[in-house]
């Protein structure tokens, strides 16, 4: 219990972190938290070793637990990483086309519930078959090779045929590291806590596709959670919801303490109704807000392009839904759908959120960041600040396949000369991400009756 208490104290409240920043600004240097050390049993030689636990917050990944074990008797060592934060609302799937040796060096955060696949070899590392790790794509392949080679000597004695097939497969895995031919690496994490590095950040990575999806019932059961089944409960009329702020109990996403979430139905002029949700934690002071669309998916997607020419454009209200992507062509910057969540803010507020997201990316800080990448991010931050100061004219593009995003027209109901709104037919891939391809809303009862007969 004492060890757990000591480890729990390493998660510092947000208010305490703010006080420490003020002290550092006044010249009072703060020493980093040392890792907790726990004496534990070595599973190799059954002697006593030391396990070190470091509980820390990494920007973009929330809390993680970095643990390592070392045995002074036999020299055996082990290291792993686990997510200490909550399970995300949606799962995530990374699909990377590995074409060069540099792609093998991409850093990867793989949780224990993530599945890694290489379709060309029909190779899969199932969920919960390995511990979580902070590694590279080459490291994942090496780890798989070591696991396959582990029992080969005994297998060659008992079943030479199977051992020969495994040797051939190990050889194919080793050839992958030479990248003589391009292959695909897929990392699928229902918890949403895995990550594959984009070395071209903040620009778009043409070889990496990131997709966020809703978990299935089987995936939710695998994670030990239960999907909300309260859809059939009756709700109050919409007129009452517009005039009332609803409250319900939740847990703080930072410290997991009980907190209250406020929910309000709001009508946006010249657009539609949205649901604004705000959470305020009294334990750690953390505040968060999120916007959900109050309507259905529109028949057509929407692409909104604003030519930013004046500082006054920063005050335009905007609604960015969860399915909306953001692009600034002049900076070669693209923010995929699902990033930053839904937001109801101003153009200035969204640009500042993007600036914070780029600057606090863990792979752009410390030893993980190369000098060239740091310089590119520094140039990008300066240009973004010039946009915020009204010194740089750019085109700001919001592309929402669901059609539920909005950017204020300051000349309404007249046309805005700097604002262009386009409606377009969604592609098959966009419908697939929104879950529309498998949705049948006509004659489904007739089809069900015929299948039963």
**Over the stretch 129-158, which tens digit does the pLDDT of each residue have?**
888 888 899 999 999 999 899 888 888 889
Which residues, in sequence order, are CB contacts of 62 under 8 Å at separation 6+?
83, 84, 85, 86, 253, 254
Q: Which residues of 195-221 are buried (b: 16+ CB within 10 A; e: fewer)?
A: bbbbbebbeebebbebbbbebeeebbe
pLDDT band (50, 70, 90) for residue 244 = confident
Q: What is the pLDDT of residue 96?
A: 94
The H or E element spanning position 423 is strand 419-424
Percentage of the chain exceeding pLDDT 90: 28
Mean pLDDT over 113-135 rounds to 90
Percentage of the chain exceeding pLDDT 70: 80
Q: What is the pLDDT of residue 26?
A: 46
The H or E element spanning position 163 is helix 160-176
Q: What is the rounded distance in angstroms from the CA atom of residue 22 to the CA atom of residue 44?
A: 47
Quickly tell me which residue has 């539920």 as its tokens. Answer: 404
Q: What is the mean pLDDT of the chain?
A: 81
Q: What is the rounded distance in angstroms from the CA atom of residue 261 to the CA atom of residue 245?
A: 10
The H or E element spanning position 16 is helix 14-25
Residue 137: phi and psi, rounded to 5, are: -65, -40
Q: What is the pLDDT of residue 421?
A: 92
Can you list the positions of beta strands (E) in 229-272? 246-251, 258-267
Q: What is the pLDDT of residue 76?
A: 86
Q: Count CB neighbours of 1 within 10 A.
A: 5
Q: What is the pLDDT of residues 54-110, one digit of tens each?
A: 877 654 455 777 788 899 899 888 877 776 667 888 899 999 999 999 999 998 888
Residue 420: phi and psi, rounded to 5, are: -125, 125
Bigger pLDDT: 232 vs 252:
252
Quickly tell me which residue has 């778009």 as its tokens. Answer: 204
Q: What is the pLDDT of residue 172?
A: 92
Q: What is the pLDDT of residues 190-234, one digit of tens each?
A: 998 888 888 887 788 889 999 999 998 888 888 888 755 444 444
- Sign for the CA dihedral angle at 210, 215, 219, 225 comes to positive
pLDDT band (50, 70, 90) for residue 367 = low
What is residue 69's three-state secondary structure? strand
Q: What is the pLDDT of residue 242?
A: 65
Mean pLDDT over 239-266 rounds to 81
pLDDT band (50, 70, 90) for residue 321 = confident
Q: Count CB neighbours of 432 within 10 A.
A: 14
What is residue 3's three-state secondary structure? helix
Q: What is the pLDDT of residue 62?
A: 56
Pairing of strands 301-308, 394-400: antiparallel
Three-state SS letters, 191-225: CCCCEECCCCCCECCCCEEEEEECCCHHHHHHCCC
**How far does CA 428 lie from the centroid of its chain?**
24
Q: What is the pLDDT of residues 290-302, one digit of tens each?
A: 777 666 788 899 9
Is 15 in contact with 284 (CB distance < 8 Å)?
yes
**How far does CA 392 lie from the centroid of its chain?**
30
Given a cut of 80, whether residue 29 has pLDDT beyond it is no
Q: What is the pLDDT of residues 381-416, one digit of tens each?
A: 889 999 999 899 999 999 999 888 889 988 888 899
pLDDT band (50, 70, 90) for residue 1 = very low
For 88-126, the DSSP string reads PSSEEEEEEEE-SHHHHT-EEEE-TT-EEEEGGGTEEE-
The H or E element spanning position 431 is helix 428-434
Mean pLDDT over 51-56 rounds to 83
Given a cut of 70, whether residue 5 has pLDDT beyond it is no
Pairing of strands 287-293, 301-308: unpaired
């Amino acid at each position: 219990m004492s060890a757990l208490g000591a480890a729990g104290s390493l998660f510092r409240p947000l208010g305490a972190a703010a006080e420490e920043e003020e002290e550092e600004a006044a010249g009072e240097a703060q020493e980093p938290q040392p890792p907790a050390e726990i004496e534990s049993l070595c599973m190799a030689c059954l002697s006593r070793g030391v396990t070190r636990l470091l509980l820390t917050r990494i920007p973009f990944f929330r809390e993680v637990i970095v643990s390592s074990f070392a045995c002074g008797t036999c020299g055996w060592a082990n290291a792993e990483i686990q997510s200490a934060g909550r399970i995300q609302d949606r799962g995530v799937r990374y699909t990377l086309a590995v074409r060069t040796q540099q792609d093998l060096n991409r850093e990867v955060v793989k949780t224990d519930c993530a599945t890694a696949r290489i379709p060309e070899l029909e190779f899969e590392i199932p969920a919960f078959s390995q511990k979580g790790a902070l590694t590279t794509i080459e490291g994942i392949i090496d780890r798989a090779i070591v696991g396959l080679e582990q029992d080969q000597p005994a297998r060659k004695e008992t079943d030479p045929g199977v051992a020969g097939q495994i040797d051939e497969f190990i050889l194919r895995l080793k050839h992958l590291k030479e990248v003589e031919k391009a292959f695909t690496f897929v990392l699928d994490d229902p918890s949403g806590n895995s990550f594959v590095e984009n070395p071209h950040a903040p620009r778009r990575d043409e070889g990496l596709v990131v997709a966020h999806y809703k978990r299935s019932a089987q995936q939710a059961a695998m994670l030990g959670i239960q999907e909300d089944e309260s859809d059939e409960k009756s709700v109050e009329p919409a007129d009452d919801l517009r005039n009332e702020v609803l409250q319900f109990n939740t847990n703080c996403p930072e410290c997991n303490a009980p907190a209250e979430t406020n929910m309000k139905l709001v009508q946006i002029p010249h657009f539609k109704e949205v649901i604004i949700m705000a959470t305020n934690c009294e334990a750690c002071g953390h505040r968060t807000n999120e916007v959900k669309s109050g309507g259905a998916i529109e028949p057509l997607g929407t692409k909104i392009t604003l030519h930013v020419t004046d500082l006054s454009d920063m005050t335009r209200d905007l609604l960015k839904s969860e399915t909306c992507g953001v692009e600034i062509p002049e900076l070669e910057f693209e923010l995929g759908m699902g990033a930053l969540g839904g937001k109801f803010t101003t153009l200035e507020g969204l640009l500042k959120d993007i600036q914070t997201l780029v600057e606090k990316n863990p792979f752009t800080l410390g030893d993980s960041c190369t000098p060239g990448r740091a310089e590119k991010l520094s140039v990008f931050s300066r240009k973004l600040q010039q946009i915020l100061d009204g010194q740089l004219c750019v085109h700001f593009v919001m592309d929402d396949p669901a059609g539920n995003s909005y950017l204020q027209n300051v000349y309404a109901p007249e046309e805005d000369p700097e604002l262009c709104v386009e409606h377009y037919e969604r592609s098959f891939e966009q419908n697939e991400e929104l879950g529309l391809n498998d949705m049948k809303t006509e004659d489904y009862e007739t089809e069900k009756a015929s299948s039963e007969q």
